[in-house]
Amino acid sequence: MSCVTPLRLHKALAEQGARAAPIAHTLSEAFASHPADASAVGFALSRLPRGTAPVLWVQDRLSRKEAGRPALAGMCVDRPVIMVDLSRAMDVLWAMEDGLRCRSLGAVIGEIWGDPPCLDFTATKRLALRAEAGDVPCWLIRRAASPDLSAARERWRITSIPSAPHPHDPQAPGAPRWALDLFRARHTRPGQWVASYDRATDRVDLAAPVRDRAVDARDGTAGERTAG
């Protein structure tokens, strides 16, 4: 997994023309494009505020079995991480909500597999209100899940893409990159970006995705007439 230190990405969003997120912390969701893709974990960590307060990290059984435990040794996380392994999604939600009552935590991260019935709008609303009341950032990482109704203030689809070219060795991987799709947001304008992490400056850079322009039906016809 790429080494990603905690950053405040809302500043980068503001630089790209989107309105910055409010200071108060809340609930955000990250949908991994593939169940085993670690990009959602790295992106969630990049959004955490700087500090040394511990992070409560809760996984359900299927997330732990299919995606494995997060490789914290490769994430440059310089704070304690409290790992909690639970079986049911319902227990994960309970542990997250209980953790959000503790203002000494730096963040609460939960991983839930699929679309369990307990993870409904009411459950996400409780997490969002609890996070905002305690001013503790909360991330819900979703794998093999569909973006059903949710009270999350930001909802992201995240995909790992090939790294940027290495400046000195064309055979080596360069800066890690993600494809970001903010498809729902309450305080920030939705949009799509390609994000890359610059280790030298310790920041996330955003760029609009490159899109191929549709070829006009008349393109080339004038040249053909001239040549003919």
CATH of domain 9-227: 3.40.50.300
Domain boundaries, the chain: 9-227
Position 163 confidence tier, pLDDT thresholds 50, 70, 90? confident
Distance CA 181, CA 190 (A): 8
Give the sheet arrangement for strand 203-207, strand by strand: 81-85, 55-59, 107-113, 138-143, 27-32, 154-161, 177-185, 191-198, 203-207
pTM score: 0.79
Q: Could you report the per-residue pLDDT of 113-146, keeping only the tens digit for each?
A: 999 999 999 999 999 999 999 999 999 999 999 9
Pairing of strands 107-113, 138-143: parallel
- A 10 A CB-CB count for 191 gives 17
